[in-house]
Amino acid sequence: MNSESSPAGRPDVLVVGGGIGGLSSAFALTRQGLRVRVLERAKEFGEVGAGLQIAPNCTRILAEYGLLEEAKTLGVVPENMVMRDALDSRELTRLDLRDLERRYGFPYMVIHRSDLHGIFLRACERAGVELLTDQTVVGYENTEGGARVLLEDGRVESAPLVIAADGLHSVARRQLIGDDVVSSSYVAYRAAVPIEQVRDNGIAEQDVTVYVGPHCHFVQYALRGGDMFNQVAVFESPKAMAGQEDWGTPDELDAAFEATCDTVRKGIPLMWRDRWWRMYDRDPIETWVHGRIALLGDAAHPPLQYMAQGAIMAIEDGWVLARQYARLAEAAPAGTRPDWDAALTAYEAVRVEHCARVQTTARAWGELWHLVGEPRLQRNAIMRARDTYDYSFTDWVYGPTALTPDEEPAMFTPIPLSSAVVENSGDEPLMVTASGTA
């Protein structure tokens, strides 16, 4: 078996995966004076998809990295996040995002996924990260004082630390944990179109709008300085529920949104119909570190999308790991480097619990969005009763990223649906169908 083949020699850290998580962690560690090499499977660096929401717990890190202003020039800082009922378009609740920025000190932004990826790619290039493409990793091994990866072409790359940031279908996750992805039976369609195409559709250009409906939801917001408009349509697939292989198809998309309000129905024909994203996550795990191999990002904690924290958690992972290394480096004797094992232990100790909270909350949030019948009306009543400036449901996630378990904020207290009193009024009646209440 061949030894290391890269001309720059052995790096301090080897990162497998050149997505947002891999690049952001590579940049964070390079800022600590470490030599980092990134191995990306694709022939070139890039991201697919459309928009991302990045909350203050992410823009805070971007500001520390000196990247926030660049992100602002490429993204949009919306005024409000508004949740509406997808059937009748009535407002349920909102966040005043300008006030939210005052509370947390950093803005809530929306940005194209490829633009955020490009920001980190350019930052890595400026910082001297070694960026290699067309590198397919097929295995991981711990070694004396480090770890190594096995590549498809028979080569080996090694380092004192290997970070597996290889995504939802992580090779490292499969080898080290052996669990499988969990299907939600929901599928997402996306589209980012010129703003002129949707201006007559009743959209809110300055807001992030989420329409929640029975077994479906629809998200809208502007991108790229307001020149583009992002839309995401998510629905539960009847074919998936029936166990069919071909699920989430365009005919199901159209059927899922037939009963929704005008603004949503006008958006559905604009969705990209040649691709769709089946929504998977994994059950939370307690062990991310295996010797000198550390899982990061979706390889460690892939969530469903309802909390809009997937990319953010990956960025936080790299920031925390770099800060733990820096803390130990400051205490290390002159001329020595800190023990990676201690940094990895500290990383795992704080990140596992937080990310598990996000994963489980995302699942519950998805169930809440997609309620039918009387539970839907109870949800609506509770949301309408919420004060716009009540941050008890966001403080645990939008505040500063914890570096130790004792810094992790307390979770919010859920409000049971049964606490809502719903009057079957004429303007919002229960709808009786053949299958019961819907």
431 has pLDDT over 60: no
The C-alpha atoms of residue 265 and residue 253 are separated, in whole angstroms, by: 11
Phi, psi (degrees; rounded to nearest 5) at 366: -60, -40
Catalytic annotation, residues: 221
Q: Residues of 252-263 as b/e, b for ≥16 C-beta within 10 angstroms?
A: bbeebbeebbeb
What is the value of pTM for the model shown? 0.94
Mean pLDDT of the region 93-113: 98
The C-alpha atoms of residue 129 and residue 33 are separated, in whole angstroms, by: 11
Calculate the average pLDDT of the chain: 94
- What's the distance, Cα to Cα, between the start and end of the chain in Å? 62
Each residue of 126-179: pLDDT tens digit? 999 999 999 999 999 999 999 999 999 999 999 999 999 999 999 999 999 999
Residue where the block lists tokens 């949301």 = 383
Confidence of residue 290 (pLDDT cuts 50, 70, 90): very high
% of residues, the chain, pLDDT over 90: 91
Each residue of 216-238: pLDDT tens digit? 999 999 999 999 999 999 999 99
CA-CA-CA-CA torsion sign (301, 307, 311, 316)? negative
341 has pLDDT over 90: yes
CB 234 within 8 A of CB 217: yes
The C-alpha atoms of residue 260 and residue 265 are separated, in whole angstroms, by: 6
The C-alpha atoms of residue 359 and residue 309 are separated, in whole angstroms, by: 9
Structure tokens at 325: 């290394």
Structure tokens at 176: 């080290």
Mean pLDDT of the region 181-201: 97
Confidence of residue 429 (pLDDT cuts 50, 70, 90): very low
The C-alpha atoms of residue 296 and residue 18 are separated, in whole angstroms, by: 12
Mean pLDDT of the region 57-78: 98
Mean pLDDT of the region 88-103: 98
49 has pLDDT over 90: no
DSSP for 333-383, please give it.
PTT----HHHHHHHHHHHHHHHHHHHHHHHHHHHHHHT--HHHHHHHHHHH
Give residue 424's pLDDT: 63
Each residue of 404-418: pLDDT tens digit? 999 999 999 999 999
More confident residue, 419 or 432: 419
Mean pLDDT of the region 339-368: 97
